[in-house]
Structure 1
Amino acid sequence: MQMSPEALSSFLTELKEWVSIETPTTSPEKVNELGRLIMARAKDAGLAAEVHSGNKDTRGAPLGDHIVLYDPERMSNEKGILLLSHIDTVHPIGTLAHTLPWKKEGDRLYGPGIADMKAGVLLAFRVLAALSKKSHLPIRMLIVSDEEIGSPSSRRLIEEEAAKAQYVLVTEPGRPGNGVVSGRKGVGRYFITCHGRPAHSGRAHAEGRSAIRELAHQILALEDMTDESRGITVNVGLIDGGTGANVVAEHASAVVDLRVPDEATGTEMNERILALKAVNPDVELTVEGAINRPGYVKDKGITALVKKAETISHADGQVLFDLSTGGGSDGNFSAAMGVPTLDALGIVGDGAHTLQEYIEISSIPVRWNLLTELVLQK
């Protein structure tokens, strides 16, 4: 199903409206503002909406709501197709006005969250609205609000919806050159806290027990767990601590990102990280966290989806490739359940999570055709 020039123009107009509503995960009121807009458009298209409370993240901060869209005339127990997307972004409020404005440069269209993944959400929404009565299987679309922080609130809902599907299509941004994702690493997030003994760094230095010193030992131990040959990376991405240069630090903390190729390696690394012990017994060390996204590899079901996508692309005069990547997505959850999952079916773009985030305008009709045919073909 080809996209007309009028449909492309309409797509770009609506996309600008969506990007203008900045939706960092940490601003649930803005996430819900866009969610309400999407539900209004869904109602206009004759679709029904279920709203699921986003509750709170692992640190107790509030989250936006999650939305399930579907055609109420196609309610059945038949397993169908799940379109999986998220509307939260990593960019803080003000990015659009100050550092990453909406702009067009040649074939590139820039804006915060435009690739990851508002263009992909809009694509999936329009496919659902256009094909909900035409597809060979019933379609449901799940839009979550917390993907960028590991989906702590939406994971159960994702798994519930995936269990109702024959296959899952995830609209994370397509890779430059018309790439899709057929495998992803597992992801773990850990919080390291050190509690020492404060002291004046001049007159009573020996009385102190530095939490920063202890954290430094732990950082080196964590970073040394990286083993590129096995596909394992451990990255200490955030650190905090101390109260002043002349004070032996009482507190220090770090946030750690773990990537692993499969479930067995994830179990191994999770145990290693949680087993960390303080080098200085006078400093209290606390390690919290877990694997929050299981890894998955290209299996028989995913291979079949890739072959179907390749055939569709070839008929459209396009070359499509698939790859496995270290980045995680909500597709990790459905694929780990054994539900065939094809990821990165959104609009092709790059620069996600940076101030150079963009999509390729020319890829919009290409990805429209790919996703519509994946939904329509048996």
Structure 2
Amino acid sequence: MTAPDLQTLLADIETLVRCESPSNDHEALTRSAEAVASIGRRLLGAEPEHLVTDGCTHLRWRFGDGPPRVLLLGHHDTVWPTGSLLTHPYSVRDGVLRGPGCFDMKAGIVMALHAAAALPRRDGLAILITGDEEIGSPRSRSLIEEEAGSCEAVFVLEASAEGAALKCRRKGVSLYRIEVEGRAAHSGLEPEKGVNAGVEVAHQVLALTELADTVLGTTVVPTALSAGTTANTVPAAAGVAVDVRAWERAEQERVDRAVRALRPQLPGARVRVTGGINRPPLDAEASGELFALADSLAADLGIGPLTAAAVGGASDGNFTAGLGIPTLDGLGAVGGGAHADDEHVLVAELPRRTALLTALTRSVLARRAAEGEEEEPAGPAVPDPAVHMGGASQ
């Protein structure tokens, strides 16, 4: 199999990296989606659907007349705010590509489009590029689950794990917000008349940390914390965000019950819990068969053997694996520094990993032919008439 042209890959990655796309900036996401669509049009000869949910733009290509059998899944939003290119400019030097969002995961988007373009037939293929993964996929989850529902395989273009490993197991994620209501008072004149929400939220933080289980790998981490208004006022309100990660669904449910059972410790204080389980775990069983296939194909391509990793971070692949759909993650760029100042991509791996993705996709799509069913040539992307464009909720 011929590897994709490296210079074309780099040019397309540069286009996307230079089009900044923070998750909460819908205008930037619209521009980014059009940049992705333009590359896809050129490579695939097909127009994507622009799916807009609550102002956030996602893109979908479908090929063939039937339901999709293979889904290439990625996201074009990043954690980097607009203006990050000024401090983290795009560059390629000494075999290393840098720039905000290059590793997580604009290189992966380009790899997906080039891999699809190299397929001799695309019937049964879908490509979905969402715009809100970095904030938990609140607007795209139902779209992802619907698109994956008929699939035999989902290939997630998130970046690889350390050492170029594929991500074959991911923790599930739960996200909560604990809001505390107290009562304000002058902290010098009559503090006894107040109910200190800052003290109450401290009690809650300590209770939350007790829910972790180091043996089972369950983490419960209070993160963003706020309390009070001025230095001489008893805080009337406080809050804390909580990030929970667990390898097992049972652990997610145990922590969920405990978080919802939190009660105030100070007389007169009130505690309110919002949020819940966001993503189920991606179990090794969901990825085992596809990893074995990828390892075999990598050997044929001369780029193996592959390694598998279990990671604490989650992706949209958690959703598809949670539905029981075979899912293989970490097929995107090789490099490191996701969300960090040293975010980077190893240039030499781009053609090899793109060729592997093409081989994987082709192999799964060819199963029907191997079972005696005739494959049809790739057709144009088929729009879903049930989807309303320009802002309808999914």
Q: Same fold (TM over 0.5)?
A: yes
1:26 aligns with 2:40: no
Contact 1:310 1:320 in 2 (8 A): yes
Cα deviation, 1:171-190, whole Å, max 9, x if unaligned, reads: 00012322101111110110
Match of 2:69 among 80, 83, 89: 80
- Residue 121 (structure 2) aligns with: 134
Distance 1:267 1:139 in 2: 35
Q: Secondary structure at the match of 2:183?
A: coil
Distance 1:108 1:253 in 2: 41
Match of 2:309 among 310, 323, 338: 323
Distance 2:31 2:133 in 1: 17
Q: Secondary structure at the match of 2:244?
A: strand
Distance 1:228 1:2 in 2: 47
Cα deviation, 1:10-30, whole Å, max 9, x if unaligned, reads: 111111111011111011111
- The aligned runs of 1:237-248 (5 Å cut-off) are 237-248=223-234
- Residue 67 (structure 1) aligns with: 59
Contact 1:2 1:368 in 2 (8 A): no
Match of 2:96 among 89, 103, 108: 108
- Residue 147 (structure 2) aligns with: 161
User: What's the CA shift for 1:205?
Assistant: 1.2
Structure 2 gap ranges (5+): 368-394
- Residue 46 (structure 1) aligns with: 45
- Residue 303 (structure 1) aligns with: 288
1:214 aligns with 2:204: no
User: What's the CA shift for 1:191?
Assistant: 0.6
Displacement over 4 Å in runs of 4+? none
Q: Secondary structure at the match of 2:24?
A: coil
- The aligned runs of 1:89-108 (5 Å cut-off) are 89-98=78-87, 100-108=88-96
Q: Are the structure 2 counterparts of residues 175 and 107 from structure 1 closer, same or farther at C-alpha, using a change threshold of 3 Å?
A: farther
Deviates more, 1:334-343 or 1:36-45: 36-45
Contact 2:282 2:317 in 1 (8 A): no
TM-score (norm 2): 0.89
Contact 2:77 2:134 in 1 (8 A): yes
1:151 aligns with 2:137: yes
User: What's the CA shift for 1:315?
Assistant: 2.2
Count of matched residue pairs: 362
Q: Secondary structure at the match of 2:162?
A: coil
Q: Secondary structure at the match of 1:282?
A: coil
User: What's the CA shift for 1:316?
Assistant: 2.6
- The aligned runs of 1:174-253 (5 Å cut-off) are 174-253=160-239
Distance 1:183 1:292 in 2: 16
1:10 aligns with 2:8: yes
Distance 1:40 1:110 in 2: 22
- Residue 359 (structure 2) aligns with: 373
User: What's the CA shift for 1:65?
Assistant: 1.3
Contact 2:164 2:335 in 1 (8 A): no
Contact 2:280 2:319 in 1 (8 A): yes
Code of the aligned partner of 1:66: H
The percentage of counterpart residues that share the same residue type is: 36
Distance 2:294 2:73 in 1: 17
Code of the aligned partner of 2:296: T
User: What's the CA shift for 1:272?
Assistant: 0.7
Q: Secondary structure at the match of 1:141?
A: strand
Cα deviation, 1:112-136, whole Å, max 9, x if unaligned, reads: 11011000011111222332x525x
Structure 1 gap ranges (5+): 56-62
Contact 2:72 2:128 in 1 (8 A): yes
TM-score (norm 1): 0.92
